[in-house]
């Protein structure tokens, strides 16, 4: 079975062709058109600009994905598309494009939850067996999930405010570092002292796996302004120390909550316990290293898909579509675009309900 996948829920317009190959997927093509330049001047993604850009680019991306894979619509078994959650204008562009193609070709249409796409990526790349523990940590999300099947996700905890990627981006802004904040803060942190500033580790005193990152940003702002007041500006090394201290705080929160998530996951007695990470923040070496150490301590295997498949892409949507189709589910022309779509509900039962 071979599927076209379409993704347009945030600021990447993407299309991919994926073929099922036993328990994993073979990526025949995977093309992305980013919008970073369009939004750069605004310091964040502007929904209206994103929606227009998706509408302009989406057909081109689909054509490119087909051409690169050397297939035509007639060679496909279906069309998978992100139906949410995300910026509604972008999601609509993708869903309308997919419906048009499905109607014209007679191919089945499969609506995919964007987060399910991220969460199922370790199966696309490594054929990971259920149930595995997933930490999805990106610019818009932060959650621990037990992935039980392709349409069943048990959420152990999530951020109650900002996502870590967002916190990295805001930190970069506060310290006049370029966007995207994550890689730049990480680079700056290399020469800094992670113990220089005692930033908070929010919610660690509370049970459960929920996390919070917005207080961290406020504490960082206060530390920065304290330095500016004392010294008349940031001195050499201050910025690196602030970045290192911030990064250490994020890593500590993820590790501490990860330890609890692992305990909850192990209660399910998985045959081969695995922690998989996905999302842009999973690229951070300090965070990765701490999670790897935690896994070694608790007897889990640690795995992370290659970065291009960790960030937004359409191969993960095509693959999730394959998994959903294997469960015998397809959608109709009433497939709805949903701005919000939590993952801790059964996925296929509610798809296509239009509500």
Binding site for Fe ion (CB under 5 A): 312
CB of 136 to ligand ATP, least distance (A): 8
Q: Contact letters (x/-) for ligand ATP, 162-181, by CB under 6 A?
A: ---xx-xx----------xx
Distances (CA, A) of 73 to 20, 78, 92, 174, 306: 16, 9, 21, 48, 28
- Asked if 284 touches ligand ATP (CB under 6 A), the answer is yes
CB of 61 to ligand ATP, least distance (A): 16
> How far apart are the C-alpha atoms of 31 and 324, rounded to whole Å?
22
**Running DSSP on this structure, what letter comes out for residue 330?**
-
Going by C-alpha positions, the residue among 117, 97, 113 that lies closest to residue 105 is: 97
- Asked if 202 touches ligand ATP (CB under 6 A), the answer is no
- Asked if 158 touches ligand ATP (CB under 6 A), the answer is no
What residue 220 binds from Fe ion, ligand ATP, none (CB within 5 to 8 A, per partner kind)? none
Number of Cβ atoms within 10 Å of the Cβ of 274: 20
- Asked if 82 touches ligand ATP (CB under 6 A), the answer is no
- Asked if 183 touches ligand ATP (CB under 6 A), the answer is yes
Contact region for ligand ATP (CB under 6 A) — 68-76, 182-190, 220-228, 230-238?
182-190
Exposure on the CB side of residue 165, measured as CA atoms within 13 A:
19
User: Which residues, including other chains, have CB under 8 Å from residue 132's CB and lie 6 or more apart?
Assistant: 122, 146, 147, 270, 273, 274, 275, 276
- Asked if 35 touches ligand ATP (CB under 6 A), the answer is no
Task: Give start and end residues of each alpha helix (H) in the chain.
Answer: 36-39, 47-69, 88-105, 114-126, 164-174, 181-189, 214-231, 238-266, 285-298, 307-310, 315-326, 347-350
CB of 256 to Fe ion, least distance (A): 24
- Asked if 273 touches ligand ATP (CB under 6 A), the answer is no
CB of 108 to ligand ATP, least distance (A): 26
- Asked if 280 touches ligand ATP (CB under 6 A), the answer is yes
Q: Using the Cα atoms of residue 306, residue 327, residue 156 and residue 293 in order, give the sign of their dihedral.
A: negative
> How far apart are the C-alpha atoms of 15 and 31, rounded to whole Å?
6
CB 49 within 8 A of CB 34: no
Q: Is 210 a known ligand-binding residue?
A: no
CB of 209 to ligand ATP, least distance (A): 18
Closer to ligand ATP by CB, 176 or 271: give it. Answer: 176
Which neighbouring-strand residues pair with 141?
Answer: none
Q: Is 139 a known ligand-binding residue?
A: yes
C-alpha triplet 3, 7, 9: angle, nearest 5°: 155
Q: Is 272 a known ligand-binding residue?
A: no
Closer to ligand ATP by CB, 20 or 91: give it. Answer: 91
Going by C-alpha positions, the residue among 274, 299, 304 that lies closest to residue 289 is: 304
CB of 114 to Fe ion, least distance (A): 6
Residues 134-153 that bind ligand ATP (CB under 6 A): 138-141
CB of 140 to ligand ATP, least distance (A): 3
- Asked if 186 touches ligand ATP (CB under 6 A), the answer is yes
What residue 168 binds from Fe ion, ligand ATP, none (CB within 5 to 8 A, per partner kind)? ligand ATP
What residue 283 binds from ligand ATP, Fe ion, none (CB within 5 to 8 A, per partner kind)? ligand ATP
> In a 3-state reduction of DSSP, which class is residue 23?
coil
Exposure on the CB side of residue 287, measured as CA atoms within 13 A:
29
Which residue is at the shortest CB distance from Fe ion?
312
Annotation: binding site for substrate: 136-140, 169, 182, 186, 284
Annotation: binding site for Fe cation: 114, 118, 312
Interacting residues toward ligand ATP by CB under 6 A: 10, 138-141, 165-166, 168-169, 180-183, 186, 279-281, 283-284, 311-312
Annotation: binding site: 114, 118, 136-140, 169, 182, 186, 284, 312
């Amino acid at each position: 079975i071979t599927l076209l996948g379409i993704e347009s829920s945030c600021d990447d317009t993407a299309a991919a062709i994926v073929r099922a190959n036993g328990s994993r997927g073979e990526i025949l093509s995977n093309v992305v058109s980013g919008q970073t330049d369009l939004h750069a001047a605004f310091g964040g993604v502007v929904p209206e600009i994103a929606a227009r850009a998706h509408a302009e680019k989406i057909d081109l991306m689909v054509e490119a994905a087909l051409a690169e894979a050397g297939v035509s619509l007639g060679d496909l078994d279906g069309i998978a598309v992100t139906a949410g959650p995300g910026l509604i204008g972008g999601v609509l562009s993708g869903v309308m494009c997919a419906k048009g193609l499905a109607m014209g070709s007679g191919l089945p249409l499969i609506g995919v939850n964007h987060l399910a796409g991220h969460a199922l990526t370790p199966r696309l790349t490594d054929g990971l067996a259920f149930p595995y523990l997933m930490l999805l940590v990106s610019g818009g999300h932060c959650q621990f999930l037990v992935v039980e099947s392709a349409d069943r996700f048990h959420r152990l905890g999530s951020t109650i405010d900002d996502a870590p990627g967002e916190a990295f981006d805001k930190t970069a802004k506060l310290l006049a570092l370029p966007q995207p904040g994550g890689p730049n803060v990480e680079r700056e942190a290399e020469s800094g002292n992670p113990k220089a500033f005692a930033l908070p580790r929010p919610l660690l005193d509370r049970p459960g796996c929920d996390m919070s990152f917005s207080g961290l940003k406020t504490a960082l702002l206060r530390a920065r302004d304290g330095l500016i007041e004392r010294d008349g500006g940031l001195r050499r090394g201050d910025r690196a120390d602030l970045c290192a201290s911030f990064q250490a705080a994020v890593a500590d929160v993820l590790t501490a909550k990860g330890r609890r998530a692992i305990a909850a996951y192990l209660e399910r007695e998985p045959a081969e316990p695995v922690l998989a990470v996905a999302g842009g923040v999973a690229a951070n070496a300090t965070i990765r290293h701490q999670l790897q150490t935690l896994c070694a301590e608790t007897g889990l295997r640690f795995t992370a898909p290659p970065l291009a498949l960790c960030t937004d892409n359409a191969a993960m949507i095509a693959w999730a579509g394959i998994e959903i189709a294997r469960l015998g589910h397809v959608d109709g022309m009433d497939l709805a675009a949903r701005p919000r779509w939590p993952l801790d509900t059964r996925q296929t039962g509610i798809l296509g309900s239009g509500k």
